[in-house]
Amino acid sequence: MQLKVFLECPQCGGPVELEETDRLFRCSFCRVKLQITAPGPPRYWLKPRDEPFSELIFLPYWRFKG
């Protein structure tokens, strides 16, 4: 199962939907073609819920593909 990643185009700010393994994309709004590069493996941040937690537990998670 591949995760979907939702970003904004850095050129025009339009919404972009990518697969987690995509490294190239073309914006359907401004037609710019870009390559996604990172100094290491890509990292995604999940926004926490707005409700307060009574207890917070850290569970490390690594995903390897290859």
Tell me the two tokens of residue 24.
């190239």
Confidence of residue 29 (pLDDT cuts 50, 70, 90): very high
Q: Tell me the residue length of the chain.
A: 66
What distance in Å separates the CA atoms of residue 8 and residue 19, rounded to the nearest whole number? 14
Side-chain-side CA neighbours of 27 within 13 Å: the count stands at 17
Which pLDDT value is given to residue 22? Answer: 84
Please check the confidence at residue 3 and state whether its pLDDT lies above 70: yes
Per cent of the chain over pLDDT 90 is: 9
Please check the confidence at residue 30 and state whether its pLDDT lies above 90: yes
What distance in Å separates the CA atoms of residue 20 and residue 4, rounded to the nearest whole number? 6
